[in-house]
Amino acid sequence: MAQPDTVTRILDTAEVLFAERGFAETSLRNITSKAKVNLAAVNYHFGSKKSLIQAVFARYLDPFTERFHRALDDLEARHARDGSEIPLEELLETMARTVLEVPAERDSLKVFMRLLGLAYSQAQGHLRGYIQSQYGEAFTRFTELVRRATPELPDAERFWRLHFILGSVIFTLSGLDALRDIAEHDYGERVSVHELVQKMRPVVVAAMQAPLPD
């Protein structure tokens, strides 16, 4: 079994350690020693630690945005034919499916979700800027479709509700393992990610369709 090359070994190790402890708490020495790679290799191949962090994200987000755009293309084309609007459920479904598909191929959903959570909360400045510049367009496209699917909602209201939901999803899936352990201990049954997404579905729809506040 030939080892994967240095760049891949660094990325594989780095994403796991970042997901476990965060960026600042993970040193290049942690990464390189666990990856069985020379310390200087990170700076040689990636330039700096910041660039390594961005590369870790790009490895997930590049395929994600590509698939996501393709999926939205399909969805739009299909509904353009009969002139109907894309229903909210289909949009949410597409988003969920794509989020799950990408890391599924490497069995790393947990890592991907933790990284998303970190990107949001640890917001290293440079990371937030990078993600916004590289992947903001996909999010903008999605929200515009959601707008057309929920014309009854005031714009500001829809904005906030989308972020409520985003919070639920990232929070839950990024703390997945810990929560799942508690749930298993307290209620005896271990849920799969698939089941969890199933549980979220009606909640998310209900959240979007909740009555307006007085």
Partner DNA sequence: AACAGTTTGAAACATGCGTTTCCTTACGCC
Partner DNA sequence: GGCGTAAGGAAACGCATGTTTCAAACTGTT
Overall residue count recorded for the chain in this entry: 214
Nearest of 57, 63, 69, 67 to residue 129 by alpha carbon? 57
Other beta carbons within 10 Å of 183: 14
Stretch that binds DNA, among 29-37, 58-66, 75-83, 152-160 (CB under 7 A): 29-37
Residue 58 tokens, joined? 């790009």
Q: Say which residue the tokens 């005031």 belong to.
A: 154
The answer to whether residues 76 and 86 touch, using CB atoms and an 8 Å cutoff, is yes
User: Which residue number, 6 or 172, has a Cβ lying nearer to DNA?
Assistant: 6
Q: Does residue 27 belong to the site contacting DNA (CB under 7 A)? A: yes
> Closer CB to DNA, residue 37 or residue 92?
37
Binding interface with a copy of itself (CB under 8 A): 22, 24-25, 117-118, 120-122, 124, 155-157, 159-161, 163-172, 174-175, 179, 182-183, 186-187, 189, 191, 196, 198-203, 205-207, 209-214
CB 165 within 8 A of CB 207: yes
Q: CB neighbours of 208 closer than 8 A, spacing ≥ 6?
A: 88, 150, 153, 158, 161, 165
43 binds DNA (CB under 7 A): yes
- Using CB distances below 5 to 8 A depending on partner kind, what does residue 38 bind out of DNA, a copy of itself, none? DNA
Choose the one of a copy of itself, DNA, none that binds residue 168, judging by a C-beta under 5 to 8 angstroms depending on kind: a copy of itself
Q: CB of residue 175 vs DNA: minimum separation in angstroms? A: 24
By CB under 7 A, name the binding residues for DNA. 5-6, 26-30, 37-45, 48-50
